[in-house]
Amino acid sequence: MRIAVVDGQGGGIGKHLTGKLRQELPEDVEILALGTNALATSVMLKAGANEGASGENAVVWNAPRVDLIVGPLSILIPNAMLGELTPRMAEAIAASPALKLLLPLLRGRFELVGQRSEPLPHLIDELVGRIKKLLESSTP
């Protein structure tokens, strides 16, 4: 399985996601860090991603070439992350045939009605648990 972790700005969410995925998942699971900028990518690589790439073209090129995309919900919103997440990036992620497992984290004038408020570590644990179940169900 090939998992893309998408994040921007300082890469903090991506760092925590990548670290937990690397810690909890088998070694043969490939983690690809896709940052909206080089700093975010670098932080995710240090956290254990196998490979990394930065910028709009990297996200657009790789989104359809992975099995799973993880990150904050804002990666589907054009101009999110203070404009770092371009409309082309959001479109490529949304249109990708990969399953998207997204953390309900939003900034700006967006609100998810009915969504419970949980600390980031709890949300990441839940996301990693879901990936583990996906891996178990796909193993012969």
Q: What is the pLDDT of residues 24-66, one digit of tens each?
A: 999 999 999 999 999 999 999 999 999 999 999 999 999 999 9
Assign residue 82 the CATH number of its domain. Answer: 3.40.50
Residue 110: the pLDDT is 76
Kindly report, residue by residue over 65-96, the tens digit of the pLDDT: 999 999 999 999 999 999 999 999 999 999 99
* CA–CA separation, 46 and 37 (whole Å): 15
- Give this prediction's pTM: 0.92
Domain count, the chain: 1
Phi, psi torsion values for 31, nearest 5 degrees: -110, 125
> Cα–Cα distances in Å, from 23 out to 19, 46, 47, 48?
6, 13, 10, 9
Q: Which domain holds residue 7?
A: 2-138
